[in-house]
Each structure stands twice: as C-alpha cells, then as structure tokens.
Amino acid sequence: MSSNPKANEDKTRLDEIVTQFSGAVHELKIYHYTLKQLVDAEEDRMLLQRAAGRFFELIRDVLVNYLNLEFSKLLGPPKSCGVENFSVENILNDAEFGWSELLKQSVNEELSRIPLSFCDRKNGAIYTARNKYFAHYDKEVFLAKGVIGEFPEGDDEKALTALENISNLFYEARFGEIRGDMVLTGAGDVHDLKKYLCRGLAFKKLFHERGADVQRLYELRKEQCPHL
C-alpha cells in the first residue's frame, strides 16, 4: 500500500465502486430470477394462484417495477442534471480508473449486445416504462391503463448477461480476478416459498378430508402460526 494517504483513499474508493457495482448486478440477477420463478412455469403460476393469487399479482408488479428501474439506472447516462450517476458509462468514463483501451472496447462490445428495443434511451422498453409510468405518470398512458413495463422477449436475459460480463471485466481489471459465480439461490429463497405453499395446500386438503384428525391438524396449525 502506498505511503500517500490520499492515494490510499482514492484506491479504496475506486475498489469500493467496482465492488458495489458487482453487488448491484448480483442483486439484480437475484430479483430477476425470483420473478421468473414466480411467473414463467405454468405449474408455478397455478400454485401461486391457488395459494394467494391477488398477493402474488402484487408481488409480480413490484418486481417488474423494480427491475425496470434498476436496469435503467445501471444502463443510464454518466450524469443527469450535472450529477454523477452510478452506471456502467459513468464507471467506464471515470478517468481516475485509468481503464485500458482494450477494456473500454470490451465493455462497449457488451453494451452493444443489449437490444435497442430494451435500452434505447428514447424508445427502449425500460426507459419508456420509467419515464411514462414508474418515475412519474404519463397522463395518457395512465388513463388508458395499458400494459407497460413488460420486457421484450429475451431482451432482459441479454441485458443481464451483458451486465454480468461487464461486472467481471471491471472486477478482473481492478482486482486481478473475477468475483466468481453470482449464486441465485439459498435458504429462504423463492424455492423454499413454493415448497411451503405446496405443503400448506396439502395441509388444507387434508384438513378438510380427515374428519378424525381435524382437531389435531387445527392445533398444529395454531402452534406454527398462532397469529393467523
């Protein structure tokens, strides 16, 4: 480490920017994976509809809104109204990093793989949704109650792949190695939720079918969830 406190402080700040960017991409992938697990498979949609359909419709809408906003922020311009943004372009254009021309070229190649139908700042899906619905309501769009915020098929996957590759490029250039796999599952995740919902529905069916055991089943349910 340098004996120059200012140089050490700058290095720590730049390291933190790259680390936080990698974390933001990882978090985005987890939210995206969770949304896909809730809505992609027909059997999962049926399970959620049977368990608490209206609630999961709300959760889906929240996740779609969140993903749109996060994509638009990470893929946004370097600055807005003179204020620096935490975005790919801002990090790439930050002279303090001293990125090589090869890295800049590689990052721009990854960005070019994201379809304009998704990320174009005038007509792309994420910016149209943000500008006309999520950040503020476009009166005409709001009154029409049209569907907005849906991703063109496959574009979100391409954007996520590009962002993860860019994260790895930044991370390797800064630390000499990529961060590693961005794990999307773990204890208490959406898979556990679906398992508990299945058990709950099975319990409900048994509760109504097994006359002699009804009282005991009721007692067990109250033990597990006394507040319900």
- The number of folded domains in the chain is 2
CB proximity list for 133: less than 8 A, separation 6 or greater: 141, 142, 148, 149
Q: Per-residue pLDDT tens for 157-177?
A: 999 999 999 999 999 999 999
143 and 216 belong to one structural domain: no
Contact by Cβ (8 Å): 166, 104: no
End-to-end CA distance of the chain: 57
pTM: 0.84
Whether residue 213 sits in one domain with residue 159:
no
pLDDT confidence of residue 83: 94
pLDDT of residue 136: 78
The answer on 191 and 178 residing in a single domain is no
| Rounded Cα–Cα distance for residues 88 and 27 (Å) | 16
The residue among 178, 165, 180 whose CA lies nearest residue 106 is 165
Judgement on whether residues 74 and 9 belong to the same structural domain of the protein: yes
Quick one: 144 and 218 in the same domain? no
Based on the domain organization, do 203 and 146 belong to the same domain? Answer: no
**pLDDT score recorded for residue 28:** 96
CB count, 10 Å around CB of 105?
11
What one-letter code names the amino acid at 131? Answer: N
If one compares 172 and 225, the residue with the highest pLDDT of the two is 172
* pLDDT score recorded for residue 127: 84
> Do 155 and 206 fall within a single domain?
no
At 12-61, the pLDDT tens digits run 999 999 999 999 999 999 999 999 888 877 888 888 888 888 998 889 88
Q: What is the pLDDT of residue 3?
A: 60
- Tens of pLDDT, residue by residue over 73-106, are 999 999 999 999 999 999 999 999 999 999 999 9
Instruction: Pinpoint the alpha helices (H) of 40-115.
Output: 42-74, 88-93, 101-112
Confidence at residue 221, expressed as pLDDT on a 0 to 100 scale: 67
Amino acid, single-letter form, for residue 14? L
Q: Taking a C-beta distance cutoff of 8 angstroms, is the pair 152, 132 a contact?
A: no
Range of the domain at 200: 185-228
Looking at per-residue confidence, does 125 or 75 come out higher? 75
- 212: pLDDT strictly greater than 60: no
The rounded distance, in Å, linking the Cα atoms of 64 and 58 is: 10
Q: Which of 76, 114, 71 is nearest to 92 (CA)?
A: 76
Are the CB atoms for 22 and 175 separated by under 8 Å? no
Residue with the bigger pLDDT between 173 and 151: it is 173
Residue 1 in this model has a pLDDT that exceeds 70: no
Give the 3-state secondary structure of residue 80.
strand
Q: Residue 108: pLDDT above 80?
A: yes
d(CA 154, CA 101): 30
